[in-house]
Amino acid sequence: MVTSTKLEPVLSRLRLTYQTGQALWSIDPDLPAPPMRAVARRLHCNASNLTFIAKQLEDRGYVERRRDPHDGRSSVLALTPEGERARGEVIAAALEATPFAALSPADLRTLAETLANMAEVADLDRSQI
């Protein structure tokens, strides 16, 4: 797979696995630091698995675990400046290798709108079950 061959060297250099890379990608630096349970949901994993992933990211200096300001019993994962840089490298490598790279900005917007509409319909269908 082209994406794998482009992504593997970047992940290796950053000392990331596919799982830790995906976790890093899922934390948007432009949004408030997400609760760990939200990251676990995004990654479709359980809390103990995410704790292991978060520890690896912490050990590499990519994230900090902090107390959730809204729920002192929970933790959030905040990107460090090094984590933001690494996240950018992972995303750039993945996007370079994707077939979507050949699409124009207008085509990408159309695709994003279509996918958002499909997700909305899927949510509506699920709520009627």
CATH number for the domain including 83? Answer: 1.10.10.10
Structure confidence by residue, pLDDT tens digits, 37-82: 999 999 999 989 999 999 999 999 999 999 988 888 889 999 999 9
The residue ranges of DSSP E strands in the chain, in sequence order, are 63-68, 71-79
**Is there a single domain that holds both residue 51 and residue 92?**
yes
Give the confidence band of 1 by pLDDT, cuts at 50, 70, 90: very low
Distance CA 25, CA 56 (A): 14
HSE-up of residue 106 (Cα within 13 Å, Cβ side): 0
Query: What's the pLDDT score for residue 88?
Result: 95
Domains in the chain: how many in total?
2
Average pLDDT (88-98) is 87
Token couple for 62 = 């990519």
Q: What is the DSSP letter of 100?
A: G
Domain interval for residue 107 = 102-129
Q: CA Rg, the chain, in Å? A: 17
Domain match, 42 and 73 both: yes
Q: Do 127 and 35 form a contact (C-beta atoms < 8 A)?
A: no
